[in-house]
Each structure stands twice: as structure tokens, then as C-alpha cells.
Chains A and B, each alone.
Chain A
């Protein structure tokens, strides 16, 4: 043993280990220092320490981006059945050009030039319960996901796809998106891809994809990949070119608390995914996750500006994500937040703006029409949110 300890090889090895340890320590210390530097003076309300610390760890926007404020919307105009909507229960909203499509419990409402027009199954919709709408950028066709099948609305003509007349996986459509010539649906019986050029369906269930069960809620696409929010199965990442899957699940399993922060997806019961600016945003019924391709970051009501951990839907545009929760509407760029809440007893509410750890409240009159939010979409300086009591249209405020 003494012989070994005295040997040059041993000394070199010990020296190398010490050197590596010192270097690693340097990295760790540097991270901590950065976290401190990030803390801004003059905070009105301090954020939890751990959030401040984590604000600069890998997985979050660079400090420069974090400085950027999240846009605030106001001057809300609320629309209900009194204004021409077929139902107050609004499930989704999609803006395309000068038209806004709102999916409701009793049909599809289209807002154009200040007027609403309703389309129902009598006009050709596969079902009146419209839960998702997307517009193909390359053809202009409107794809409508309903509780009873998928409808293509092309130049005024409705064409129905369902599980009986086509390769659709299931008629209970939760979401539809257009990705080039492909149309993706997530349904109660799996996800499906319809290639509009080949006129061919391909379906993905627990039998041919790493899903927990075939129930799929949300889907988004970006940078050549598709991200499926699979109920109980986290996020299924699919590369259509290589036909390879990669599943992202919560390392903590089914637990409703996030045991180890930022170790992965916050929960396996995912409700939506949205990919923008190289970031994947994932909503669950137990918080939200952000993934930059390398690091995960979890967000909860308790340690961020998120309105609620019960998130019905989210959509990302540019650097920001917009979350539809059961208790308000939130938007974030990963660091700064704006959350909109309506007062319980009147039509007014507040926008809670958190920038650089500084929180301030902006009164809004009126506010969004209800705090149970199910859908969101925006275009230019206008934001629409679909709620369980009508749909709201807000304008970007110049603060």
C-alpha cells in the first residue's frame, strides 16, 4: 500500500482529482455570484430567493432577455352571447389575418369587421363543440377540431373527417395544428397526422409510441419536431424525418409535488405544448415547464407569477408564453410575468406585472371576462382569450 502511495502515478492522480475539483468549484461559485448580480435594486416586492438564484442558471433566458418586460394587455373588450356568440362557453380562439375564430360549446364563431357569424353542424361542422382551430399558412384552409370529429373549412366548404370515414384516430379532438402540409390532431384515442399531399393518416398511440395511454391533449410543432402532450405520459417528442420518438416525463413520477426542482417536466399529466424561439413550453395541471433543449425549468404559482398551477392550455409566441389557468391568465418570458385576474364581484380586475423581481399591480376596467381561461391567441398588438364566460379581446398597452 505504501508503495502505491509513494508512487508517482498515485501522486499525479491525486493532483488531477484535486485540480478537477477546484475547477468544478469555480464553476459552482461563479453561478452563485451571477445569481447575486442579477438581483436588482429597488424591488417593490422581492421574489423568493431560490427563484432569484435560479434566474441565471442554465435553462433560463440570458440575463439580458430577462430584463425585457412582458407585454401588458388591457382595454379589454368582452364578448358573450349578448354580442352574438353562440355560447358563453368558449373553448379556443385563433386569429388569422382579419378573422378571429372562436370555438364554443355551440358552434364556431367568426369575428370579422366587428361582427360575429356562427357556424354549426347544420352548416357542415362535424360537431358543435369546437375545441380547437388552426389555419394553414400555406393553403388558408381552416381546420376545426370538435368533440365529434375534425372539419376542414376550405373556401366556404366543410369537409368532415372522423374515425369512421377516415384514418382519424378518434372523434374526440382536443387540438389540431397545421405544420406545413401536415395536419396534426390530438384525440381521446391517440394523436394523428394527416398528410394533405398524400392524403394519408398516421396515428400514434401507446402501441407504437412511448405514451402512457392513447389520451392526448395538445400538440405543437417547431424546428422539424412535433411535441405531443400525452395525458399521463408527459411530452412525446417526434421527429417526422427520422420517425424517432423521445419522451419527456416527470422524473418524480406521478407525485403531485415536484420533489427535485428543474429535474425535468413538472408533471406527467400534460395539457398543452407550444414551441417558439427554440423553447418548448409545457402546461400541466400541476404547474408549467420550460425546456431549452438542454435544461428544464419548472414554474409554480408558489414561486413565480403564474396565476394557478392548474393550466388548461398555453401558447408561446416569440419569447413569451401565455398560460390559460383555472384562476386567471398569465404570460411570461421565463423570468418576468404578467397575470390578469378578474375581480369576483365586478367586471374589473388587475394585471399583476412582475419585471426583474419588481411586482406592481395595474388596475383594469373592465378586466377579462372570466378567470377560467381555456384558450388564447394573439396577433400584432391584440390578444384574445377564451373563457368559460365569453371571449375577451385586449390591446397591448404602452406603459
Chain B
């Protein structure tokens, strides 16, 4: 017994001796790794969930489905659901709420529509730049139609002979002749378009856009709706929607008198101090009158002290009485009474309508219900009899079923994915949810749609108002590119999204550590760049890109003089992230900036991130040097000919995800396989 006590005592002493310095070491290690001194000691987070090892990643993570959009068969018996992360189209028995089949399509399927005979489905594959044509009787892909870059929304022409495909990344509209399957023309659209809808009279198509027209900071945000004449297959006009962006989808009333488009009203020109006053981000919809001069009236779905961010899809009931909007940032469906909207517009003067566009109290006039859903509701579809609203619960891997009569979620259709919510999945849910922002005013997604960036410049609240205007940076694959922010102030994602984040941006309690770990893990390891199919589909550079690469890596200027090492492109922007993770002065500091060096940004998929430079002053890659590189501080450029600058820009546009750069190009190539 005595021996046992001694042994236990010795072990206890040893443990104490190990534990105390061990804990101290661990504390220092965690402080160092997180750049904060209050993060909990959670070894698993970094060493398991943030691990880059494919084996560990496979062990701790799960494959999810992420349903995106839904189509319903004309008889209402079947649902067709694009599962974005499974690269499949799910076919579901609506009555039995059972899966009838899963059809392999291309990468990241976005939208689905059915032809008027119900025999074919068309699915846009956003990461494959094509449309899968599916024979529904055979339940298989029978053809693949080429599109522009990032196909998303779809519509048929009124005569059914043409398929319109919205190319969300290349900002244009592919027009495909269905008889031949060939693209007959490609029309220019607004910036980053997604949704498309044919008017009930079959004359016009409206195409939504997410990103605003690029303007200098200080000018109001304007985003273009694109109006297409269906008969001529030509553009009709662009409808500028002022002070709004992220217009995801659009729907018409059955009578065709109104079109309703989801939108967000950013207040990016105000310091972010205004969060408490409801003046950072507002969410709502635009009403486009089809009569007269086509007024566009904007109304909010937000309320005082409660916001309903990230409106995604909108559908209108067959009787034209109700509109349903998926408020994806708060897991809600917002129900709008359309007659109330009509009455409000009819009784309001233009001045009053202008006021309503920012009025948090006016939504009580037309919002009749908020219906809770599973995580991150995206695409919506009504059953043909109007009794059910189907909701693609994007991060819940279910189809929510809502009774339009009781306006309650009465059930769900399980799509059969893992019931376990992994850390990365949790992180993704958090990133897409506004629950941790003051009065749920916005989510991370709001300014970082699809984990990217919204193309706007912001006046982030700091001790000096109006200073340090910053261009939103992408969150894609930034895990290995510390420090963060243009100033490099935040050495880690933990610091970026911790206390400082809550102080400056969310204006409420900071994330609990588990949530902070989850969102950090997702940002660092969970989100990926789309393949650069537009400029570098297979890793083989074009002649111009090859020439540009030589310029990028050159050590001597055109006169044969050696370029100082710190003034070569390759020095500060080496592969695979195209950043040396160091600070630099490229002579772009303005009078309104604090005197700082800038964190060298990574350049992967840089083509998709205009505008450029820390304050977004360069609208294009060319302008970085033609307008803002006159001193040769941002690389030696002034000896170059215009042709050489063009080649350099073409090379920059070819840069892809680090995964592809490091030789793991399977994913990219797979996207070209025709199913």
C-alpha cells in the first residue's frame, strides 16, 4: 500500500513537473500560432482540422451535398435538385419524399430547368463551363453544351428553341440553339450575373448581377440589370439599380406587372461605426414596374433591430399574392404580401419611396411572416398547385418543405449525407450566417460572397474616421498567406476573426472559441478557388502568357540593366501563392492612408478580383502600372512596351489556385470531362 502511495505520489509529482512547464510551453506555442494571448489550448484544432495532410483531412472531414437550386416537374411529382458539392442532380419523389436517383453532372452544378415536354433537364455546371443535358427517362446525361465561364442561371426562350445561360464569372450570356447545341451568340451583361427570368409575356429576359459597376471610392454603388429582347436575341438595355448590389435572383408576378429582384444595399461609403444604427448593410428587394418608364423601387425586408441578410432566391405564388425570399444569412424565409407592396407604392410619392428604401420600419407593411428553415436556405421552388414551397437548405443537406397555407416548415426531405457536422462544415455554416453580427445585420458572406470578395471599398471604423479606405480581399485559400488585412495587422486568421473582428465589424460578442476555431479552419482549409477555366484551363500557357511569364521573372530590363532584386515581380510574388508574405512599399500610399507598408497580396486567380490595389483605385490590372506605376516602385515597368505589359497582364490572368500550381491539377482537368 505504501509502495502504491509512493508510486502515485511520484507520478503525480512528475505529472505536475511536466504539466506546469508543458502547459506554459503550450500557452506560448498557441499564443505564437494564433497571435493572441487568450485563445483556448485546443491542440486538435490546428493539428487535426487545419492539417494539410490529405489522410488526416479525409479522416476528420465528410463529404456533403450542399443543395443549391430546385426545379419541380409540371405534374409536381418530382423534384430535381442540384447538389453543388456532390456534382450530382438529385431526382426526388415529392410525395414519398424519397430519392429516386442521383445523376452525375459536371463540377459545382448551380441551376436546373426542365423543358416544356418534361423529357429533358438542363443543369449548369459552374466549375466546368458547360451545361449537362439529361434525358429524364433514361436518367443520364446525353449531351454537354459548352458555355462561357461560370454558368449559373438558365432560361428557355419563349419559343423553346433557345437556351439562355448566364455566365457568372465571365459576365455574359450564352445563347444556345437547342437544335444544334451550338452557342449562336454571347451577349454582354452586368457584372457577375446569376439569375435570369423570362417575362410572362415572353418578350423580355431579365438578368441579375451581383457585383457593382466599378467606380472610384466615393461614388454611389450601382449594379446593372440586363434586359434582353427574346425575339431578336439581342440586348435591349441595362437598368442601373442604384445603391444596391448582390442581386441574385428575380421573379415576375403572373400578370407580369411587376418583377421582384433580391438585393442588398451596402453603405460602404460610411464608416463602419454605423453598424449600431442599422447603416452598414440592408437587405431587401427591388420592384421593377413593367408599365410606364419601368421604375425600380427598393424596399427592405429588414426590421428595426432585426435584419434578414443575404436574400438569395425569390418565387411568387401562382395567384400573385405572395412572394417568398430565402433570407439565407438567418435561416429564414421572408414572406411578402405583394398587394401590400402595390398599395404602398401607389400611395407613396417619389420622395417617400426614396425614404422607404432605407426605412427599417416599413417592412411591417408587407412582410407577413418569417419561416425558420435549416441552415442557409438558397434555391426555392413552388409546387404546381402552390401548396408547398421547397427550400434548398444549402448547408443542412435537406430540402425543407413549407406549407404555403400554414406558412410553417412541415417537413423535410433528407438527401442522405452525413449527419455529423464537422468542424469545417460548422465553420462554413458560421461564415454564411449573420448570427454573430449585431442584430444579425450581415454575415461574412455578405461582403465575401462565395468566400470571395464583393468588389467594394470600405471605410473601416478606426480611430481616424475617413482614413484607410480598403478594398475587400478574397477569403479563398488564404490559410498559408499570413499576415492578413492590407496592413498586415493581423498575423493570423484567429486574430483577424477574434476580438478585433467583433470590435470593428460585428459589434457584438466575439465568437466563442469553438466557433472561432471552426470558422478559422474553414477559411484556412475549407474553401477553394474555382478553376481558372477562362484564362488557364489546363496549365498550358498561351504564347502571350509564356512571354508574360518571362517578363514576370526577368532580372534585366529592356536596356540590359539589372533590375534590383526588390523591384522584380518574382521577388515579392513567388509561386505558389505569389506572395513572399512580407511587407512592401509600392508607392501607392495616399494622403488618407496611415503611413504603413502593405502586406504583399497573393495573386492566385487575381483576374477575378477587380478592382486592384489596397484602396481599389485601379479598375483593371493594366491600370496598376499605366496609371499608378509611374515611379517604378511597384516593379520595374516603365521600360516595357505596351505589348510587353499586355503579355505580363495575360500571364497574371493565368495564375491559378496553389493546388493547381503545386501540380495537383486533377480537379481542374476533371472539369473538362464531358459526362
Residues of A within 8 A of B (CB): 138-141, 152, 154-157, 163-167, 169-170, 181, 189-190, 196-203, 205, 207-208
CB-defined A-B contacts under 8 Å, sample of 25: A139-B186, A139-B188, A140-B235, A141-B188, A155-B188, A155-B238, A156-B237, A156-B238, A157-B224, A164-B622, A164-B623, A165-B622, A165-B623, A167-B642, A167-B645, A169-B643, A181-B186, A190-B642, A190-B643, A196-B186, A200-B535, A200-B544, A202-B646, A203-B643, A205-B643
**Cα of A169 to Cα of B622 in the assembled complex, Å:** 12
- A167 & B234 in contact (Cβ 8 Å cutoff): no
- B626 & A165 in contact (Cβ 8 Å cutoff): yes
18 more CB-based (< 8 A) A-B contacts, given A154-B235, A170-B642, A190-B643: A139-B185, A139-B188, A140-B232, A140-B234, A140-B235, A154-B188, A163-B626, A165-B620, A165-B622, A165-B623, A167-B622, A167-B649, A189-B642, A199-B534, A201-B646, A202-B544, A205-B643, A208-B643
Across-interface contacts of B534 in A (CB, < 8 A): 198-199
Asked if B342 CB lies within 8 Å of chain A CBs, one says: no
Distance from A216 Cβ to chain B, minimum over Cβ atoms (Å): 14
**Cα of A152 to Cα of B238 in the assembled complex, Å:** 13
Given contacts A164-B626, A165-B623, contact A155 B236 (CB under 8 A): yes
Picked from A139, A166, A169, A170, the residue with its CB within 8 Å of the CB of B187 is A139
Q: How many interface residues does chain B have, given as a range? A: 20 to 34
Across-interface contacts of A207 in B (CB, < 8 A): 641, 643
Asked if B278 CB lies within 8 Å of chain A CBs, one says: no
Across-interface contacts of A181 in B (CB, < 8 A): 186
- B627 & A164 in contact (Cβ 8 Å cutoff): yes
**Cα of A199 to Cα of B186 in the assembled complex, Å:** 12
Across-interface contacts of B184 in A (CB, < 8 A): 138
**Cα of A210 to Cα of B184 in the assembled complex, Å:** 34
Closest B residue by C-beta to A157: B238
Across-interface contacts of B626 in A (CB, < 8 A): 163-165
**Cα of A185 to Cα of B151 in the assembled complex, Å:** 30
Asked if B619 CB lies within 8 Å of chain A CBs, one says: yes
Across-interface contacts of A138 in B (CB, < 8 A): 184-186
Interface residues of B in 612-662 (CB under 8 A from A): 619-620, 622-623, 626-627, 641-643, 645-646, 649-650
Asked if B153 CB lies within 8 Å of chain A CBs, one says: no
Across-interface contacts of B642 in A (CB, < 8 A): 163, 167, 169-170, 189-190, 203
Picked from A155, A169, A196, A201, the residue with its CB within 8 Å of the CB of B227 is A155
Closest A residue by C-beta to B184: A138
Interface centre among B227, B232, B622 (most CB of A within 10 A): B622
**Cα of A140 to Cα of B228 in the assembled complex, Å:** 12
Closest A residue by C-beta to B238: A157
Picked from A139, A166, A196, A203, the residue with its CB within 8 Å of the CB of B234 is A139
**Cα of A359 to Cα of B626 in the assembled complex, Å:** 57
| Top 4 A-B residue pairs of the complex, sorted by shortest distance between their CB atoms | A155-B235, A164-B626, A140-B234, A167-B646
Across-interface contacts of B627 in A (CB, < 8 A): 164
Distance from A202 Cβ to chain B, minimum over Cβ atoms (Å): 7
Residues of B within 8 A of A (CB): 148, 170, 184-188, 224, 226-227, 232, 234-238, 534-535, 544, 619-620, 622-623, 626-627, 641-643, 645-646, 649-650
Interface centre among A138, A170, A181, A207 (most CB of B within 10 A): A138
**Cα of A200 to Cα of B544 in the assembled complex, Å:** 10
Closest B residue by C-beta to A137: B185
Distance from B523 Cβ to chain A, minimum over Cβ atoms (Å): 30
Distance from A241 Cβ to chain B, minimum over Cβ atoms (Å): 14
**Cα of A277 to Cα of B169 in the assembled complex, Å:** 39
**Cα of A157 to Cα of B148 in the assembled complex, Å:** 22
Across-interface contacts of A205 in B (CB, < 8 A): 641, 643
**Cα of A141 to Cα of B186 in the assembled complex, Å:** 11
Distance from A150 Cβ to chain B, minimum over Cβ atoms (Å): 14
Distance from A79 Cβ to chain B, minimum over Cβ atoms (Å): 27
Closest A residue by C-beta to B643: A203
**Cα of A166 to Cα of B653 in the assembled complex, Å:** 13
**Cα of A139 to Cα of B649 in the assembled complex, Å:** 27
Across-interface contacts of A164 in B (CB, < 8 A): 622-623, 626-627
**Cα of A343 to Cα of B626 in the assembled complex, Å:** 50
- B237 & A155 in contact (Cβ 8 Å cutoff): yes
Picked from B170, B188, B227, B620, the residue with its CB within 8 Å of the CB of A166 is B620
**Cα of A31 to Cα of B641 in the assembled complex, Å:** 52
Given contacts A141-B188, A154-B235, contact A203 B646 (CB under 8 A): yes
Across-interface contacts of B622 in A (CB, < 8 A): 164-167
Closest A residue by C-beta to B228: A155
Across-interface contacts of B620 in A (CB, < 8 A): 165-166
Distance from A207 Cβ to chain B, minimum over Cβ atoms (Å): 6
**Cα of A170 to Cα of B238 in the assembled complex, Å:** 28
Closest A residue by C-beta to B224: A157
**Cα of A189 to Cα of B535 in the assembled complex, Å:** 26
Distance from A159 Cβ to chain B, minimum over Cβ atoms (Å): 8
Interface centre among B148, B641, B649 (most CB of A within 10 A): B641
**Cα of A199 to Cα of B232 in the assembled complex, Å:** 24
Given contacts A169-B642, A203-B643, contact A197 B186 (CB under 8 A): yes
Closest A residue by C-beta to B534: A198
Interface centre among B227, B535, B622, B643 (most CB of A within 10 A): B643
Interface centre among B187, B232, B238 (most CB of A within 10 A): B187
**Cα of A208 to Cα of B544 in the assembled complex, Å:** 12
Across-interface contacts of A152 in B (CB, < 8 A): 188
**Cα of A166 to Cα of B534 in the assembled complex, Å:** 17
Picked from A139, A169, A190, A208, the residue with its CB within 8 Å of the CB of B235 is A139
Across-interface contacts of B623 in A (CB, < 8 A): 164-165
Across-interface contacts of B619 in A (CB, < 8 A): 165
Across-interface contacts of B226 in A (CB, < 8 A): 155
Closest A residue by C-beta to B185: A138
**Cα of A205 to Cα of B645 in the assembled complex, Å:** 14
Closest B residue by C-beta to A141: B188
Distance from B612 Cβ to chain A, minimum over Cβ atoms (Å): 11
- A197 & B148 in contact (Cβ 8 Å cutoff): yes
- B186 & A200 in contact (Cβ 8 Å cutoff): no
Distance from B168 Cβ to chain A, minimum over Cβ atoms (Å): 14
**Cα of A201 to Cα of B650 in the assembled complex, Å:** 9
**Cα of A197 to Cα of B147 in the assembled complex, Å:** 10
Distance from B627 Cβ to chain A, minimum over Cβ atoms (Å): 6
Distance from A17 Cβ to chain B, minimum over Cβ atoms (Å): 50
**Cα of A140 to Cα of B188 in the assembled complex, Å:** 10
Distance from B371 Cβ to chain A, minimum over Cβ atoms (Å): 38
Across-interface contacts of A156 in B (CB, < 8 A): 237-238
**Cα of A163 to Cα of B640 in the assembled complex, Å:** 14
Interface centre among B186, B226, B238, B642 (most CB of A within 10 A): B642
Across-interface contacts of A208 in B (CB, < 8 A): 643
Across-interface contacts of B186 in A (CB, < 8 A): 138-139, 181, 196-197
Distance from B349 Cβ to chain A, minimum over Cβ atoms (Å): 28
**Cα of A207 to Cα of B619 in the assembled complex, Å:** 28
**Cα of A60 to Cα of B41 in the assembled complex, Å:** 90
**Cα of A154 to Cα of B238 in the assembled complex, Å:** 8
**Cα of A258 to Cα of B231 in the assembled complex, Å:** 53
Closest A residue by C-beta to B148: A197
**Cα of A124 to Cα of B589 in the assembled complex, Å:** 30
Closest A residue by C-beta to B607: A199
Distance from A326 Cβ to chain B, minimum over Cβ atoms (Å): 32
Closest A residue by C-beta to B186: A197
**Cα of A67 to Cα of B645 in the assembled complex, Å:** 53
**Cα of A189 to Cα of B148 in the assembled complex, Å:** 31
Distance from B78 Cβ to chain A, minimum over Cβ atoms (Å): 36
Across-interface contacts of A203 in B (CB, < 8 A): 642-643, 646
Across-interface contacts of B650 in A (CB, < 8 A): 200
Across-interface contacts of A155 in B (CB, < 8 A): 188, 226-227, 234-238
Closest A residue by C-beta to B240: A157
Across-interface contacts of A190 in B (CB, < 8 A): 642-643
Distance from A245 Cβ to chain B, minimum over Cβ atoms (Å): 14
Across-interface contacts of B224 in A (CB, < 8 A): 157
Distance from B180 Cβ to chain A, minimum over Cβ atoms (Å): 15
Distance from B113 Cβ to chain A, minimum over Cβ atoms (Å): 24
